[in-house]
Chains A and B, each alone.
Chain A
Amino acid sequence: MVKEKKTSKEKETPKQIAKKLEDMSNRIVNQIHKNIDPVFTTQQRGRSNVEFDKNSKVLTLGDKTTSRNFLNIGHAKKFMQTMMVTEKTHNYLKENKTASIREIYYELKHTLGKTKENTFEEQTESDSCIVDLEHSVNTIREKLNLHANPKGTLYGDITLVDKKHNNDQFNANKLGRGGWSIMSRLEPEEIEIKQVKADYLLVIETEAMYERLVEEGFAKKNKAILISTGGQAARGTRRLIHRIHTEQKLPVYVFTDGDPYGWYIYSVIKQGSMALAAHSNFLAVPEAKYIGMTLEDVETFGLENVTERMKDGDIKRAKEMLEYPWFQNEGWKNELKLALQKKIRIEQQALANKSLSFVADEYLPKKIKKKDFLP
């Protein structure tokens, strides 16, 4: 396992990553030569090894590690699978190819010798090997030339260069109403952020709200870049938000439904997710602000009649969030407590109750002007 600082990690070249894989493999080969049970070590993940770093304000992974030994009945197959994934990604890096995580699954899937057993029975098996590998060599899958399914849209006056595709240069303002479909691979060596002419970046939970704002000409009027996540933000989308924020020093405002699900979308963009706590440095934007929807909005804008009852799952989730260290501030504690007290939720589109253009003409500009955010 390799531990490094964020800066060097981000700039690692495919060659360097390939070298890391070779080093790890050589270590294993040497163990085998020395007649030692070969072991693959990676960072332990999950709640028990996730910490909230109060200084950097992001979720980070602790020091706990986990091992997979070949000579362990329960580990042997996983050990083999990890070696296979390692070799395949090493190949991608050498041959300058990229693949989706579903493609690598199919590339590696076959029957084992004369048995009836497959190398991989389900994609979840190769997926977890990929995560193991990312954590073991301390990089992200994109650097291993792998990517998940893309999701999310970019719109506004931002110029990008696709270095892997004839250095195509394009402005997300000139791609029609649909904007640019955010790719899953957004490393600087592939996509360059050339220029941004905007005052802030607005991240929107739903596609429908994104479409409303495009139709209302919101981006141009307010000098805003729009990104819709379509629910929980994909890695590529998070990476893009992170890069626009850090490279272009653009403030990030997040606009979601006023319910635990929406709030957690914000939380992941701001301080990272538990599953990818190790990569928070690549993905999180601790300076992001929450614009809405809030329960205060309900009062301020008179939306009481368009709220909905919280479901049991919502209540449970809200209670959990109240315990998370990264929600321990006045603003969020009050919001969550109020939600649990009133047991109501409010969707972004409920604003249409006022008028279709209300969100673009009044709600967002007013809140941004007043800096009426939750931290």
Chain B
Amino acid sequence: MSLQEVSQAEEIAKEFKEHSVAEFFKKNMQMLGLTGKIKALTTIVHEYVTNSLDACEEAKITPDIEVQIKELGPEYYEVTVKDNGPGLTKETVGKALGQLLAGTKFHRMMQMRGQQGIGAAGCTMLSQITTGKATQVITGTGHGQPISLDLTIDPKKNQAKIANLVELKTTFKGTLIKAKFKGMKYVNSEQAPLEYLRRTAIANPHAQITLIEPTKQKIVFKRTLKDIPKQPLEMRPHPKGVNVDELSTLAKYTNAKQVSSFLKNEFDRVGDKAIAEIQKNVSFDLKKDPKKIEWDEAEEIVKQFRKINFISPRTDGLRPIGEERIRKSLTSIVQPEFLSVLTRKATVYRGGFPFQIEVAIAYGGNAGKGNVKNEDGVIEKKMEIMRFANRAPLLFDTGGCAITKAVQSIDWKRYGVKDFERAPITIFVNLISVHIPYTSAGKQAINDEVEIMEELRLALMNSGRKAGQFISGKRREQERKMKKELFYKFIPEIASALEGITTTSKIKLEKELEHLVLEKLKLEDAEEQAELEKELKSASAKKEKIKEILVEKKETKK
């Protein structure tokens, strides 16, 4: 190969690489959640807002985020997101917003909301592809003057290009991003930015979130709690949850000098006993330099990981929203008549991934979705499921999600909810995990892992029982009221007729008849209550049965 030939080959390779980022990006828009005109706009809002929330939390600032969406033309929008976060510098702004796949979030065993999507840099790219325009950024750190700049990405180098950089005379701490997009649509649907922000506000009661819609309508989701949630802890991966590729990658970056110390340092619950066990069963010496580990060798280790009984992973790194916070935010935003909140204890799926389920059931008030009037002019509500993964709302792929499946697997009638699908109910479910098992790269549906399904069902049944008691009590009360009115309506005529014939005082008769009605209703209520308790008993017996089945299933899976 001549020198010229070499340089030509290098050129081709370089060109291929340069094109690849943009090409890859365009081709994989669907996978990343950007097709669909409504979905795309929601995803953009999600990326910016998530960044803002994460930045504020890390800097221990109570977030105040304002999102404005302006319609510039048909399917042409400008999205502005302003936060009061720590701000960016000239140096960090490029990496945050101008470099694709630059995130540090890969391979971190930590509960994080920004796991899905394309990142804010993806938005910069998307704006560029669809409008040819730069993304405007105004940011201030509180030290020195805030800066304003226009940002584009050089797809060939996958690098930020900064233009029109100026220092501003004003004082501003935080970040404002303004970008334009084409091929989007703003509507008021369940998958639209408004609903996304409503749910984000519910899961983040410490944040104040404002949306200014294209109609100039301003919607404020007020902060309900001032304290910032504790940061989740970064956890070492548990040996049961690691695959060969991840183990190989971790081996390359470790500081350990031997495979044995690498395994003990980098993985949770791996001790000398386990190392001795592994050494007995692998074909190579564990004193080997981990950086030199071969794929086959990594495979052998993972195989041993599967065999050995490790203690379950630590779960203390998980940070659920917490019952009190969920209660406060749902009370503020949904204003239900009844609310049942439950944060389950953390547990583990597939032996290696800690997770935790939070469930809330809200009934009445603004709970449930839809404000459609039916033929009789009565507002009809529908049951609503709010799904969250690490506090981030999941709006798409509803049907394929474990949360939806778990909700639908429950016989709500048993809990006294007669027409569940059309009840004014909001079911809030948050799955917290260092590793959310999504069904696909779109990261909008959770896979129905046996342990996750079990936890979901137990949480839902527990809250459901409490909600059911309230709902059936309320229904009984309504029925009682209707019956009372029905009987009462006839009393005056009866009393006056009897007075006419027998000269007994009408007022006396009325009082006695009313007393009769009330006593009867009281009796009926007591009977119904007894009936319901009987039903609930048989329901909890059934629950035990389900538990057994789940355990069996788990064992056969092993």
Contacts and interface: CB of A to CB of B under 8 A. Distances in A.
Given A32-B513, A35-B512, A35-B519, A83 B489 contact: no
B372 interface: no
Nearest to B510: A32
A117 B490 CA distance: 11
Given A70-B516, A71-B517, A76 B498 contact: no
A8 B489 CA distance: 40
Contacts of B516: 32, 35, 37-38, 70-71
Interface string B498-511: 10111010000100
B183 interface: no
A126 to B, nearest CB: 13
A308 to B, nearest CB: 52
Given A32-B513, A76-B486, A84 B497 contact: yes
A2 interface: no
A87 B500 contact: yes
Interface of B: 483, 486-487, 489-490, 492-494, 496-498, 500-502, 504, 509, 512-513, 515-517, 519-520
A79 B502 contact: no
Given A76-B487, A117-B489, A83 B502 contact: no
A374 interface: no
B493 A29 contact: no
Given A22-B502, A33-B512, A83 B497 contact: yes
Given A73-B483, A112-B489, A113-B489, A29 B498 contact: yes
Interface residues of A, number: 29
A90 interface: yes
B517 A83 contact: no
A28 B498 contact: yes
Query: What 5 A-B pairs are tightest by C-beta distance, nearest first?
Result: A87-B497, A83-B497, A80-B490, A25-B501, A87-B500
28 contacts: A25-B498, A25-B502, A29-B502, A29-B504, A32-B509, A32-B512, A33-B512, A35-B512, A35-B515, A35-B516, A38-B516, A70-B494, A71-B487, A71-B520, A73-B483, A73-B486, A77-B490, A80-B493, A80-B494, A80-B497, A84-B493, A87-B497, A90-B500, A91-B500, A112-B489, A112-B490, A113-B492, A115-B489
Nearest to B487: A76
Given A32-B509, A32-B512, A37-B520, A83 B486 contact: no
Contacts of A119: 493
A86 interface: yes
A33 B517 CA distance: 13
Given A25-B502, A70-B513, A87-B497, 8 more contacts: A32-B513, A35-B512, A70-B516, A73-B483, A76-B486, A79-B490, A84-B497, A87-B500
A83 B493 contact: yes
A26 interface: yes
B512 A83 contact: no
Contacts of B489: 112-113, 115, 117
Interface of A: prevailing SS:
helix
A83 B487 contact: no
A332 to B, nearest CB: 47
B24 to A, nearest CB: 69
A76 B490 CA distance: 7
Given A73-B483, A86-B497, A91-B500, A29 B490 contact: no
Among A22, A73, A80, A86, chain B packs the most CB atoms within 10 A around the CB of: A80
Contacts of A112: 489-490, 493
Contacts of A73: 483, 486
Nearest to A117: B489
B523 to A, nearest CB: 10
A90 to B, nearest CB: 5
Contacts of A21: 501
A79 B494 CA distance: 8
A26 B515 contact: no
A117 to B, nearest CB: 7
Contacts of A22: 501-502
Nearest to A89: B501
A86 B517 CA distance: 22
A113 to B, nearest CB: 6
A26 B494 contact: no
A145 to B, nearest CB: 15
Contacts of A25: 498, 501-502
B509 A29 contact: yes
A119 B486 CA distance: 13
